[in-house]
Amino acid sequence: MNWRSRLTLLCILAIPAFSGYPLGYFQETIVPGLTLGWIAYALMVHGAAFGLLGPSSYRLALIISLLITLPVVLLGSAISLIALFTRDWTTAGLNVIASHYAALAVTMLTVIPLALAIVAAIPFHRMENRLLNQAGGVSLFQKSALMFTRVCIHVIYFVIPEILEVLREERILNRIMSRQASPGAPKLSLQVRASILVRNMIQVGVEGICSSVRHIPLWAEEIARLPGRESQASTEQNHRNNPD
């Protein structure tokens, strides 16, 4: 299956996530916050992503999705629980919080891998080579597309793997989830762990943004030097007029 077929299938699979059809017809609740429609849709998305992208790309998309989803769900639920306990605690309020964040987790773990799969299905390297090697010069729109392609390639194949490697080597998330800032240190409270998690995620986000834009000035200068269509046509015309 070529990349156009994979991309088409993934885009069709994304229609229920944005339109809600036909998920709205399957509202049977499995657990509070999780309906039969969304559970079946999530399984379908992950099965399609695994089959179309392969184990390695699917594993990377799943790790990225977890890194985005877990801080949002854990921090949001922690803040909601703190707010609930500081006011009048009720079982109904606790059930509302649990169902809300369960639905949010399933939604994010469905939509984010699907979006990453759509991006991963596009052959940016092939597009870049075609733009660089085509005859007749490069138009302004194609130069913009080439810059976009360069940035996407850099983010997908360099920035994200480097961030995941740093998180794995420094074991930031493991220390936070195990309630210890470092070996031998006292255990951290839920509020302190949430603040450390937010701080680390902000640091990771800033590092990702800086790494993504680091080479843009160099690429812009390189792409600007490519011959445009008008200059290429003028060069060919001068060569025909002056063959010697």
pLDDT: is 181 or 96 the higher one? 96
168 — pLDDT class (breaks 50, 70, 90): low
- Cα angle 15-17-18, degrees, rounded to a multiple of 5: 70
Q: What are phi and psi of 216, to 5 degrees?
A: -60, -45
**What's the pLDDT at 42?**
93
What DSSP line would sit under the chain, residue for residue?
A: --HHHHHHHHHHHTHHHHH-TTGGG---EEETTEEHHHHHHHHHHHHHHHHHH-HHHHHHHHHHHHHHHHHHHHHHHHHHHHHHHHS---HHHHHHHHHHHHHHHHHHHHHHHHHHHHHHTS-HHHHHHHHHH-SS---HHHHHHHHHHHHHHHIIIIIHHHHHHHHHHHTHHHHHHTTBSSTTSPBPPHHHHHHHHHHHHHHHHHHHHHHHHTTHHHHHHHHHTSPPHHHHHHHHHHHHH---
Average pLDDT over residues 79-91: 78
pLDDT: is 119 or 175 the higher one? 119
Average pLDDT score, the chain: 78
Average pLDDT over residues 176-191: 55
Q: What are phi and psi of 66, to 5 degrees?
A: -65, -40
**What's the pLDDT at 152?**
79
Average pLDDT over residues 154-176: 67
pTM of the prediction? 0.65
What number of residues does the chain have? 244
- For the chain, the domains span 1-122, 123-229
Q: 73: which residues sit within 8 A by CB, 6+ positions away?
A: 101, 104, 105, 108
Give the pair of three-digit tokens for residue 165: 């490697």
Strand partners, 34: 31
**What's the pLDDT at 61?**
87
**What's the pLDDT at 41?**
93
Average pLDDT over residues 71-81: 83
Give the pair of three-digit tokens for residue 72: 């949002």
**What's the pLDDT at 12?**
92
Residue 182 has pLDDT above 70, yes or no: no
CB of 6 within 8 A of CB of 119? no
pLDDT: is 229 or 14 the higher one? 14
**What's the pLDDT at 244?**
52
pLDDT tens figures, 20-67:
888 878 888 888 888 899 999 999 999 999 998 889 889 888 988 888
